[in-house]
Amino acid sequence: MKTYSRKVAPDLTRQLVVAGVLPGDAQDGAVTQAAPPGLLIYQVGGVTESSVFDLDCGYGTGYRLSLHAAVGLPAFGILGWVLDLPWEDSQFQWLADPKEYFSREEMYQVPGCATLRYPRDEVINHRKVLKRGHALDGLLLGYGFESMPESYRHGEMVDASLVLIDELNRGFSTQVHLWVDRSAKMNPKRAKKSTRPGLFEKRDGAKYELIPK
């Protein structure tokens, strides 16, 4: 696991500041710490289980990563995650914990994809602590307002970086690979046109935002 460097990834630093994970005056100290020994983060499952996909409404992009995370320390706090992509989406965000808006079903719902609903215990968005002997296994779910660039074709792989920010504001980066799913645009019956407010309107008081520790 290598330490994320502000000098080689200025765009990622900007994302951390915009997301509120790093204060602007603390960037240098936050990204140059050595990675804790024994910290492991890697993808699990089949090729298509970690994917980037068009939302059913015809615009916007969804993200799903199937991960395993473990640490050889008594406890390791997770402040947040940042996904560094080959394209820009300044309003990218992780799905919020359904408990934050008192969802009766406690299901994570990907906006714009009515069929993509996941039980809370299968998702790690809300998990904020790693303990020795208690690995995190599950999905990290996000979405963005911008559509995936048309140059990425169905079935291709996108190389990206996933950064874990710990409670000491250190960033640790690992490479991830996302399978491109363009089936929503390939199937006219699925790609339904709608207005932008309709896609991200609140449901039962839902708020979709990156929630720090």
Residue 56, domain member (yes or no): yes
| CB-CB neighbours of 110 under 10 Å | 22
Residue 119, domain member (yes or no): yes
Residue 157, domain member (yes or no): yes
Residue 45, domain member (yes or no): yes
List, for residues 45-103, the tens digit of each pLDDT value: 999 999 999 998 767 999 999 999 999 878 889 999 999 999 998 889 999 999 887 66
Residue 135, domain member (yes or no): yes
Q: Residue 107 in contact with residue 118, Cβ under 8 Å?
A: yes
List, for residues 9-49, the tens digit of each pLDDT value: 445 555 555 555 455 444 444 453 445 678 899 999 999 99
| CB-CB neighbours of 4 under 10 Å | 26
Residue 168, domain member (yes or no): yes
Total structural domains within the chain: 1
Residue 84, domain member (yes or no): yes
Q: Model-level pTM?
A: 0.73
Q: Are strands 129-131 and 136-144 parallel, antiparallel or unpaired?
A: unpaired
179: which strand partners? 51, 157
Segments forming the whole domain that contains residue 131: 2-199
Residue 209, domain member (yes or no): no
- Cβ-proximal residues to 28 (8 Å cutoff; 6+ apart), any chain: 6
